[in-house]
Chain A
């Protein structure tokens, strides 16, 4: 009798614990053991990020939607982000106003060649700082950091004087020559990235190559550079995008003949006004006639980097982690 009762008790206990465990499992799934890995917490994180992300990219959505609106849609307060019909004439106007093909080539010249030169020189410098032995290395590294912290405003005036003496104003040389010598746009940052990358590589490979009698140059070009493919790509992508977007340095050194896209946007309005004699202003810089073409122009400017980003997105976001800039 007692035995049966005890058996029943044990059985009850087991079912209870089992049930408990099941609810625990469910609880763990929903709320998470660690507060942070339950479904609710995840849903919360996702929804929070979606809201912030929407606010974050709203100006871009605004740009795209405005560029597709006709003047009638622009004035109509009922029409929100989605235009009533897609209106592509803005793009036609912007294409003409920016002289897109020509400006595209100008911008491409700077961005492409500037980036290639930067990758090469910064890799060379970064490698020397990471692996070669010579007196004054720390001083050079310090100077690179200093070069990173000096505002471009400080060197603008003398650089303008130098370039105008050399007759480089309004030519791509003003950006390409400094890039060859490792002083391109944010070159110091790229040198630091390469230095960190080469430091993190195992030394054994180099030693083996050295014992085999490879010269430093051979070692660098045949072994280290191919190894650094990832770092090269990251530096190239960043450099390309930053050259593409650069507008302040460009505004000083390039004002006519050779003009990148970023500068032409500001003159677009005047061009448009020249074409259309009728203009009325709705106040506060918002002018429904030129707003559409301007946004179309802005979109045309960001379009090439956007394509590159869509293709190389992974390398961009993993770039800094991969190259170990932070360590």
Chain B
């Protein structure tokens, strides 16, 4: 009887020793997560419902409930408009990057002399996509596609679209090359994705008489859908620190503004986060829908 319990104890001890090692390895990350993610997120949520003052004794909070959000959305509605404009841009940028990187990776996946150099070339911008450098290049007009001014595209666009839409389209076109600079990692992910489709499938359908066009749409494209989803999510995350993302700067300005402060700035960040969450949710749902019923869902 005694032997049995002590044996069970031993097993438990042994098991917890193993668990303990696991937690020990995780410890730095757990501490970091609490200190630099969980706690800041919680505090930021608390801030967003408060008006935060800095006094000599530290921070002073006054509960305002949804007051910050109300001020932002109704009283001074500049921020929601900026957010919506940026969201529209993002909704255009994501397909732009996805289609471009898919197309380029499709070409880079073929065998031809100098492929390594070409891959290196298309990855180059990831190396020095410094925010300030990109801003400078944009200001100097270096990010424009050559045909925009050549064919007077602005006049044509203004004829067919409303002022707001054509302004946005022109804004995107004026920095198109720089936007495409954000597709380096996506190209790599797509190329890696192509390797997951086995060669024998292509051979099999060729024997069955499928044309390359058919085998692309029937095999390559469906096989790449999960990677489309992955890349869409990566692009959304990458756009957080996109140099043309206005949110970071607005939050920063409002943090130090005497009329708004930390609470208001936090509320702004939360509004942005909610929109991003919706976007991420839609992306995940679409990816799930597109790959449903297939075995190899990631």
Tell me, yes or no, whether A306 is within 8 Å of chain B by CB.
yes
Complex interface bits, A142-164 against B, C-beta within 8 A gives 1, otherwise 0 = 01100111111111111111100
Evaluate contact between A262 and B269: CB separation under 8 angstroms. no
Complex CA distance for A265 and B135, rounded to whole angstroms: 10
List, in ascending order, chain A residues with CB within 8 A of B298's CB.
Answer: 327
Report if A326-B192 is in contact (Cβ < 8 Å); known contacts: A56-B177, A156-B251, A247-B130.
yes
Complex interface bits, B70-110 against A, C-beta within 8 A gives 1, otherwise 0 = 00000000000000000000000000000000001001101
Interface size class of A (residues with CB under 8 A): 35 or more
Complex CA distance for A156 and B270, rounded to whole angstroms: 11
Tell me, yes or no, whether B132 is within 8 Å of chain A by CB.
yes
List, in ascending order, chain A residues with CB within 8 A of B131's CB.
Answer: 245-248, 262
Tell me, yes or no, whether A59 is within 8 Å of chain B by CB.
yes
Evaluate contact between A42 and B110: CB separation under 8 angstroms. yes
Report if A305-B128 is in contact (Cβ < 8 Å); known contacts: A127-B25, A251-B252.
yes
Tell me, yes or no, whether B193 is within 8 Å of chain A by CB.
yes
Min C-beta distance of A237 to chain B, whole Å: 9
Evaluate contact between A147 and B18: CB separation under 8 angstroms. no
Evaluate contact between A241 and B126: CB separation under 8 angstroms. yes
Interface hit among A4-12, A18-26, A44-52, A85-93: A44-52
User: In terms of DSSP, what is the predominant structure of the interface of chain B?
Assistant: helix
Chain A positions 107-154 with a Cβ under 8 Å from a chain B Cβ: 121, 124-125, 127-129, 132-135, 137, 140, 143-144, 147-154
List, in ascending order, chain B residues with CB within 8 A of A182's CB.
Answer: 28-29, 32-33
Evaluate contact between A162 and B110: CB separation under 8 angstroms. no
Tell me, yes or no, whether A58 is within 8 Å of chain B by CB.
yes
Complex CA distance for A9 and B101, rounded to whole angstroms: 57
Evaluate contact between A301 and B40: CB separation under 8 angstroms. no
Evaluate contact between B230 and A178: CB separation under 8 angstroms. no
Interface size class of B (residues with CB under 8 A): 35 or more
Complex CA distance for A327 and B44, rounded to whole angstroms: 36
Interface hit among A200-208, A225-233, A270-278, A291-299: A291-299
Tell me, yes or no, whether A286 is within 8 Å of chain B by CB.
yes
List, in ascending order, chain B residues with CB within 8 A of A291's CB.
Answer: 140
Min C-beta distance of A316 to chain B, whole Å: 6
Report if A301-B128 is in contact (Cβ < 8 Å); known contacts: A125-B28, A158-B44.
yes
User: In terms of DSSP, what is the predominant structure of the interface of chain A?
Assistant: helix
Name the CB-closest residue of B to A152. Answer: B240
Min C-beta distance of B96 to chain A, whole Å: 14
Min C-beta distance of A28 to chain B, whole Å: 14
Chain A positions 287-327 with a Cβ under 8 Å from a chain B Cβ: 291, 294-295, 298, 301-302, 305-306, 308-309, 313-314, 316-317, 319-321, 325-327
Tell me, yes or no, whether A173 is within 8 Å of chain B by CB.
no
Min C-beta distance of B297 to chain A, whole Å: 12
Tell me, yes or no, whether B156 is within 8 Å of chain A by CB.
no
A-B contact pairs, 30 of them (CB 8 A): A49-B104, A49-B108, A56-B121, A56-B181, A59-B178, A60-B124, A134-B23, A144-B29, A150-B41, A152-B240, A152-B241, A154-B272, A156-B248, A157-B265, A180-B32, A181-B31, A181-B36, A183-B35, A246-B131, A248-B248, A262-B131, A266-B135, A301-B132, A309-B124, A316-B126, A317-B123, A320-B185, A321-B188, A321-B192, A326-B196
